[in-house]
Structure 1
Amino acid sequence: MFGVISSRFALNKRLSLLLSNAQLGVLLFHSSFVIRSFPSSTSSNLNEHSFAVSYLINSCGLTLKSAQSISKRICFETTERPDSVLRFLREHGFTNSQIPKIVEGRPQVLLAQPEKTLLPKFEFLRSIGVSRLGISIIVSRNPDLLTRSIQRHMIPLYEVLKSVLVSDKKVVTALKRMRRSFRLYSLSNNLSLLRGLGVSQSSISCSPNVRH
Structure 2
Amino acid sequence: MVDYLINYLGFSKEQASTVTSKVSHLKSTQKPKSIIDFFKKCDLDNTQIRKIVSCSPKLLTSHVDKTLRPKFRVFKELGLSGSILEKLIIESTITSCASLVSNVNCVRELLGTDEKLIKVIERSWWALTRLNLSDNLLVLQKYGSSNDKIQMLLIQMQKTFVFPFHDCVPHLYETYTNASADNQMTQLATSMICLKLFSVTKDV
Of 16, 31, 34, 1:81 maps to 31
Could you tell me whether the CA contact under 8 Å between 1:121 and 1:146 is conserved in 2? Answer: no
Residue aligning to 1:58: 7
Q: Distance in 1 between matches of 2:66 and 2:136?
A: 34
Of 16, 21, 37, 1:72 maps to 21
Offset of 1:136 from its aligned partner? Answer: 5.1
Q: Which runs of no fewer than 5 residues in structure 1 stay unpaired?
A: 1-51
Cα gap change, 1:105 to 1:139, in 2 (>3 Å): farther
1:130 alignment partner AA: L
Q: Which runs of no fewer than 5 residues in structure 2 stay unpaired?
A: 160-204
CA RMSD of aligned residues (A): 3.2
Offset of 1:191 from its aligned partner? Answer: 4.0
Of 173, 176, 189, 2:119 maps to 173
Q: From the CA coordinates, give the structure whose radius of gyration is larger.
A: 1
Cα gap change, 1:176 to 1:65, in 2 (>3 Å): farther
Report matched runs for 1:8-157 at 5 Å: 52-75=1-24, 76-126=26-76, 129-131=77-79, 134-135=80-81, 137-142=83-88, 143-146=90-93, 148-151=95-98, 153-157=99-103
Could you tell me whether the CA contact under 8 Å between 1:85 and 1:112 is conserved in 2? Answer: yes
Offset of 1:154 from its aligned partner? Answer: 0.8
Q: Render the CA deviation track for 1:6-30: whole Å, top value 9, x for unaligned.
A: xxxxxxxxxxxxxxxxxxxxxxxxx
1:121 alignment partner AA: K
Residue aligning to 1:20: none
Cα gap change, 1:112 to 1:184, in 2 (>3 Å): closer
Offset of 1:89 from its aligned partner? Answer: 0.9
How many aligned positions are there?
156
Q: Render the CA deviation track for 1:110-164: whole Å, top value 9, x for unaligned.
A: 22332343222222334xx322xx245443112232553211x212211332244
Could you tell me whether the CA contact under 8 Å between 2:78 and 2:114 is conserved in 1? Answer: no
Could you tell me whether the CA contact under 8 Å between 2:111 and 2:151 is conserved in 1? Answer: yes
1:170 alignment partner AA: K
Greater shift, 169-178 or 85-94, is seen at 169-178
Q: Distance in 1 between matches of 2:35 and 2:129?
A: 26
1:89 alignment partner AA: F
Q: Distance in 2 between matches of 1:168 and 1:189?
A: 20
Q: Distance in 2 between matches of 1:158 and 1:174?
A: 11
Relative to the length of structure 1, the TM-score reads: 0.58
Could you tell me whether the CA contact under 8 Å between 2:124 and 2:154 is conserved in 1? Answer: no
Offset of 1:63 from its aligned partner? Answer: 4.1
Offset of 1:91 from its aligned partner? Answer: 1.4
Cα gap change, 1:160 to 1:181, in 2 (>3 Å): closer
Cα gap change, 1:64 to 1:165, in 2 (>3 Å): farther
